[in-house]
Structure 1
C-alpha cells in the first residue's frame, strides 16, 4: 500500500498546484466554524432538490417543514466538525461533502423509478441489483455511468489527499476534540426532544412521506439506526408465556374433516380503479374481480407500504407479524431472516398437518433474498422465473405476463398427493407505467380528469393491464376448479400503484388500503370484513378450523375478541411474541426453534439433458425444461450459451472433445446454480475422431 501511494504521489506531483494566497487560506480555516453553516445549508438544499426533482418543491419543504430542514443542516454541520481533528481539512471536508452528495444522488435516481426512497437496507441489496444485468432496476448503461462517476470521484479524492494543503492551527487538540464531542453528544438529545415535540417523526407509517416531511438525511439516518426491533419494556419469559397461554386456540379441527388446498395470490400493484375518484372509465375494467367480490368473502386490506415494497406486505402475510415494529425502510427478508435458523410462518404451520408448501413466481429467485427467506419460512418448492420457459411479455416488454403461472401452479399442486399451500406472486401489473400512449385502441377508455396527458397515459396503460389481469384471474380460478379438489383462494393487492395518489383521491380515503377477494368450491359461507396483511390468512385458517401456530393463534384470538388491529391492546402482545421469535430467547419454544429452514427445491420438473450434438460450428443440447437462464457447463466450467427454446440450447463448443461431461444449470441472478440437469458424456462421431488421429 505504501509503494502504491508513493507511485501515485509521483504522478500527482506532475499536476499543477492551484496557488491560493496564504492569507485567504488562513482566514478560511479560522472562520470555518462559521462558514461551515452556510455550506451545510447549501448541501442539504442540494440533496433535497435531487430528491424532489423540483426547485419549487424544495423551497416549499424549507418553508413548510423549517424545523426538519434546519435539523438536517445541523446534522451536516456536526459532521463537518470532524475536519477540526485533522490537518488535512480540505480532504476530510471534501470527503464528507462527496459522500453526502452521493447518497443524495442515489436517492434522487431511485425516486425516478420507484416511490420508496433510498434507505440503509438498500445497501445490502446492491449485490442483487448489480447482478441483475439489464434489469428493470439498473440498466447496463446506467451501471457504466455510475461506475465511471464513482471512478472520477475516487481519483479526485486521492489527488486531494496526496496534494491537499495541511492546515496549521494554534487551537489545542483537546479543545477541538471537546468541541466535536459536544456536538455529537448533543445531537441525540436534540433528536429526542424534537421527536417528543412532534417536530420530527419517530415512526414512518409511509416511508416516502416520512422522508418528504423530515428530510433525506434524517430519513436515511433513521433507516441506519432503526434496524431490527427494540426489546419490549415488559419482555421476559413470564410475559411471553402469559400472552401465548391467553391466545392459544387449541388443536386443529378441520371444518369438513379433511385438509383443503389453500392458494394465496399476491396481485402486484393491484388497486380497484373504480375507487379512484378522478378516473372516468368507459366500462368496468375488472368485472370478474367484482363478481368474486360480490359472491365470496372479501374486504379492504390494510398494507404497510405505498407504491413499492412488495416484500414487506409479503412478510406480513406469510408470518402474521407486523412491520410496524421495525425501523423505517427495513426489509426483514434481507436482514433478520438471513440471521435466524428458521422462522415460523403460515407455511410452516401447515407442514405438521401434512401440507406441501410451494411458491410460484415469474421473477428472480434471489431478489429480496426470496430463495433464502422462503426456505427459512418452511416452503418445500420454489418455482421462480429461472425454472420457467417465459416467452410472453407485457406490451412494453418490461415484465412477463402472468399466464405461465397458471400451469406452474397446477404443476406444483399435481406434484403431490397431499393437500397444498401455494403462494403465487404476479408481476404483470408492475410499474413503471409509460407516460406515452401505448394502446391505439384501448379496450377500456380512461380519462384522468384534471390531470396532464402523461399521467392520463399511465392510467390508461395501467387500467387496461388490470383488464387483462382480470381475464387471467378468471383463467386461474377455472384451472383450480377443474382440478376437482376442495380449494380456497385468497387474492390481495400488495400496495397501490405508483401514481402519486393521496388519501383524498381514493374512495377509501386511505392510500394504505387495497382489496382482497376469495373463492372456494366447497361452500364456505360469505363473511365480509376488513383485515390487514398480517391477519388476513390467519382469519381464513380460523374459518377452516386450522390452529396451532404462535402468531397465527394470536391473530385469530384478537380477531375473535373483536380487538381492532393496530390498537394498543392488539399490538402489545403481537410485539412481545414477534420479538421473542425473531430476536429474543424463544421462550415460547422453551428456548429451541422447532421450525428449521427447509432444503427448498427449485422448480417442480427435472431439467433433463437427452442429447448433445456438435454441428454448424456450435454445440447443441436437446432436452426439456430449459429456460433463458439455462447455461451449459463443460467439465464443470460455464460456456457461452444461447437459448432457443425450452428444449434446445446451443453453446460454444470450440474445446469440446470426446469424454467431456455436459450439464445444464439453471442460474440465479448472482450467478449461483439453482438446479442442475442430469449429466451427459459427449462422444464425438468416429469421422471426427479419425481426423484427430491423423
Structure 2
C-alpha cells in the first residue's frame, strides 16, 4: 500500500512539474497571433475548411481528383450543400474550450467516413451507408480475405491509433480558447444551424438540387455527394408512413386482392417450387463490348427461349444480394425504404414478416433454404425464421470440398444434392426450396488465373479488364452447367415441379447503362422451367412481382402482397401510381403499421428454424497411433467443432464421419458433443452427447484401436476459417480447400453458450 501511495505521489509531482514548466513557457508570438486571427474569423475559417474537407472526401470516395472536380463543376450547389452539412457539424466546437481538439475530431470523423467509402467502392459498387454499420460483426469476420486482408486490417488499426494519439496530445497540450465562451449566444448559434439543416434540405430537394430517394444508391452518391448520401442513410431509415395510411385504405386494398381468386390447385396436386438465386449472374452476350469464343450459358438460354422468361428489374447493382432476395421472397419493394437500407439487418431483427414461405406453408408446403455460404451473413438465419421457413441448410451443414480457381468461393455443384435432400425430407408434401448460389461472386482477378479457359474473352478496354471478364465468364459457364444438372435432377423426380432461376444483380464490373443491350444495369434475366406443361408467358417484371407472377400461373393465390400484385397483374395495372401507392400502404402496414390487413393480429409468427436436414451424431472414440483422440460419427463438416464438457476445443476435420482432437483436451469421464458452428460462435446444430472412457485410466478388456485412415493432410488443422462476406452480401464464409484453420489450438478459447440437450438443433 505504501509503495502504491508513493507511486501516485511521484506521478502527481511529475504532473505538477509539467504544469509549472508550461506556465513559465513563453507562448510563440506567431502562434498566438494565428490563433487570435482564426478565433476572430472562425466562421469564415469553418466555411473554407468545410469546402476543403468536402472536396478531399469526394477525391477519396471517387478515387480520382478529376472526378471530384467534375462533381464540383457539374453539381456545384449539391457540393456546397455537402459542405454546409460539414459546416454545421464543425459549429459544435463553439460549445467547448478545446476548440482545436474538436475541430480535429470532427474533421477526422468525416475524412474517416470518406476513406471507408473509398475502400468499399474499390471492392463493390454500392457505397458506404449507415446500415453497413450494422454489419460490423460481418466485417470482423472478413479478415485475411480478398475483401479485407490482414495488411489492410493492420493499416486501419494503426491509422486510427495514431489519430487518437494526436487527439490525446491535443487534449493535454493543445491550445484552449481564452476568450468569452458566450454561454448563451454559442448554443443558440449551434441550435439555429441545426434547425436550418432540414429546412435547407427540403428546399434543395424541392429545387431538384438534391434527390429525396435514390433509385440507384451508387448513382445517388455520385450525383449528390458522399456527405449528403451517407447523412440521408442515417436519417432516412425504415419506411415513412404513407399520407393516406389508415384502416379504410388497407381494407379497400385487401378487398381488391380478392379479385385474384381462390387457390385452384388441389392439395395432392401442388407443384414443388424451386427458386434459385444466381449470384452476380448475367447474360455475357448482352454486354455490348464483349467478344466471346462461344455462348457461355447454353443451358440457361435454352430455358430462356423455351419457357416463361424475361428481364427482371432488381433494386441493386454489383452488390446487395439480400435486398433482391427480400423483394423476391416478400413481394415488397425496396424503393420505399431509406437510403442504403437492408431490411434483414433492421426491421426483420424486430418483427416477423409474411413471405412466400409463410404463405405456402399455410396450404401445406414444406419450406426450405439451401445456401453454400455462411448462415449468419446478412443475419439470414434470423431473417429466414422471421419469414416463416422450416429449415435452412447453410454451408456449415455441408461437406464442401470444391472451390473456384481462386479458392475463395465454393462451387455450386453441392447445391444439387442439398436441394434434393431438402425435398426428400418431406415426402408427403409439396416443397418450396429457395436455393442461393455463390460461385459467380466477385472479386474478379485482374491477372490471368485460368491457364486454359473453355471460353476466351476480349473487347474490354485493358488486358486487366479482359482477364476479369474471362474469369467471370468461365465461372458463369460453370454455373450454367450447374443449372443443367439441377434441371436434369428435377426432371427425373416423379413430381410436378417449377424451377425459377434469376440473377440477383449484375457483376461488380463498373458497367453502365450504355454497356448493356437492355439499356439498364438494374435489369437481369429470369427463366422458369416446369415439367407439367405450363404455357410460356414472357414478361418483363420487377423482383417483387416475380413469385406473384409465377404462383398466379400455377393457380396459387395466397398471401397479402402476392394476391394484391396478382390482382393488379390481371388488370394490367402494375405500372400505375395507384398500384405503387397500394403496395406501399400494405408494405407499411405489415412491417411498421397496425397490421389492419391481419385484423391487428400476428398472423405469420416467426418459425423455430431448424438448421440443416441431417442429424449430426457421435458414435465412439479411440486413440490413434499418434496418441490423438479420434471421434467417429456421421454428417460432420469442416465447421464441426468438438465440445468437451461444454467447452470448444481445437478440432481437425478428417471426413464426414471422423474428427480428431488432442489427447490433452480430454480426460476420463468428460462429455463429448459435436456442434455445427457458424460465425460469432453461433451453435447451429448439435449432436448427441457421449461420455469418454480413457482406456489407459481403467483396466478394461477393450483393446485400443489404431486409426488406419490417412490423416496427414489434416495435421494442425481446425477446419474452419472466419466468415468472409461484404455488406452486399457479398463475400461468403469460407473454409479453405486445404482446411487451414483460423482458430488454432493455442488461441481457440472462446466458449459459446451451448444447450446440453443435443437432440434438438438450435440457433443461438
**Residues 1:358 and 2:371 are matched in the alignment:** no
**Residues 1:543 and 2:579 are matched in the alignment:** no
Structure 2 residue aligned with 1:591: 600
Query: Which of 207, 211, 219 matches 1:209?
Result: 219
Structure 1 residue aligned with 2:183: 173
**Residues 1:488 and 2:495 are matched in the alignment:** no
Paired residues for 1:497-508 under 5 Å: 497-508=507-518
**Deviation of residue 27 (structure 1)?**
1.8
Paired residues for 1:375-524 under 5 Å: 375-417=385-427, 418-449=429-460, 451-524=461-534
Structure 2 residue aligned with 1:60: 70
Change (3 A) 1:568 1:142: same
**Deviation of residue 159 (structure 1)?**
2.6
Query: Which of 283, 296, 299 matches 2:310?
Result: 299
**Residues 1:290 and 2:301 are matched in the alignment:** yes
Structure 2 residue aligned with 1:117: 127
Change (3 A) 1:194 1:658: same
Query: Which of 579, 584, 608 matches 1:570?
Result: 579
**Residues 1:253 and 2:274 are matched in the alignment:** no
Query: Could you report, residue by residue, the CA deviation over 1:414-464 in whole angstroms, capped at 9, with x for unpaired residues?
Result: 011211000000000001111111222221121125x11111111111111
Query: Could you report, residue by residue, the CA deviation over 1:101-131 in whole angstroms, capped at 9, with x for unpaired residues?
Result: 1111111111111111110000011012213
8 Å contact from structure 1 (residues 434, 457) kept in 2: yes
**Deviation of residue 499 (structure 1)?**
1.0
Query: Which of 185, 190, 207 matches 1:197?
Result: 207
8 Å contact from structure 1 (residues 357, 379) kept in 2: yes
8 Å contact from structure 1 (residues 623, 648) kept in 2: yes
Query: Could you report, residue by residue, the CA deviation over 1:453-512 in whole angstroms, capped at 9, with x for unpaired residues?
Result: 111111111111111111110001111111221100000000011111111111110111
**Residues 1:323 and 2:316 are matched in the alignment:** no
Structure 1 residue aligned with 2:289: 278
Change (3 A) 1:623 1:171: closer
SS of the counterpart of 1:620? strand
Q: Distance in 1 between matches of 2:11 and 2:219?
A: 49
SS of the counterpart of 1:490? strand
8 Å contact from structure 1 (residues 12, 163) kept in 2: no
SS of the counterpart of 1:246? helix
SS of the counterpart of 1:201? coil
Query: Which of 599, 605, 609 matches 1:600?
Result: 609
Query: Which of 268, 274, 277 matches 2:279?
Result: 268
**Deviation of residue 202 (structure 1)?**
1.0
8 Å contact from structure 1 (residues 311, 333) kept in 2: yes
**Deviation of residue 688 (structure 1)?**
6.5
Higher mean alpha-carbon deviation, 615-624 vs 458-467, is at 615-624
8 Å contact from structure 2 (residues 668, 697) kept in 1: no
Query: Which of 228, 231, 249 matches 2:238?
Result: 228
SS of the counterpart of 1:126? helix
Structure 2 residue aligned with 1:89: 99
8 Å contact from structure 1 (residues 116, 207) kept in 2: yes
**Deviation of residue 587 (structure 1)?**
0.6
Query: Could you report, residue by residue, the CA deviation over 1:374-421 in whole angstroms, capped at 9, with x for unpaired residues?
Result: 000000000001111111100111211001101100110001121100
TM-score by length of 1: 0.95
Q: Distance in 1 between matches of 2:239 and 2:671?
A: 50
**Residues 1:71 and 2:85 are matched in the alignment:** no
Q: Distance in 2 between matches of 1:152 and 1:638?
A: 36
8 Å contact from structure 2 (residues 313, 542) kept in 1: yes
**Deviation of residue 547 (structure 1)?**
1.1
**Deviation of residue 655 (structure 1)?**
4.1
SS of the counterpart of 1:360? strand
**Residues 1:139 and 2:137 are matched in the alignment:** no
SS of the counterpart of 1:125? helix
**Residues 1:676 and 2:686 are matched in the alignment:** yes
Q: Distance in 1 between matches of 2:610 and 2:389?
A: 9
Higher mean alpha-carbon deviation, 167-176 vs 81-90, is at 167-176
Q: Distance in 1 between matches of 2:165 and 2:13?
A: 12
In the alignment, structure 1 segments of 5+ residues that lack a partner are: none
Paired residues for 1:334-353 under 5 Å: 334-340=345-351, 342-353=352-363
Query: Could you report, residue by residue, the CA deviation over 1:355-376 in whole angstroms, capped at 9, with x for unpaired residues?
Result: 0000000001010010000000
SS of the counterpart of 1:535? helix
Query: Could you report, residue by residue, the CA deviation over 1:266-321 in whole angstroms, capped at 9, with x for unpaired residues?
Result: 00011111111111111111111111111111111010111110000000000000
TM-score by length of 2: 0.87
Q: Distance in 1 between matches of 2:592 and 2:184?
A: 41
SS of the counterpart of 1:526? coil
**Deviation of residue 11 (structure 1)?**
7.9
8 Å contact from structure 1 (residues 360, 383) kept in 2: yes
**Deviation of residue 170 (structure 1)?**
3.2
**Residues 1:23 and 2:33 are matched in the alignment:** yes
Q: Distance in 2 between matches of 1:327 and 1:507?
A: 30
8 Å contact from structure 1 (residues 255, 545) kept in 2: no
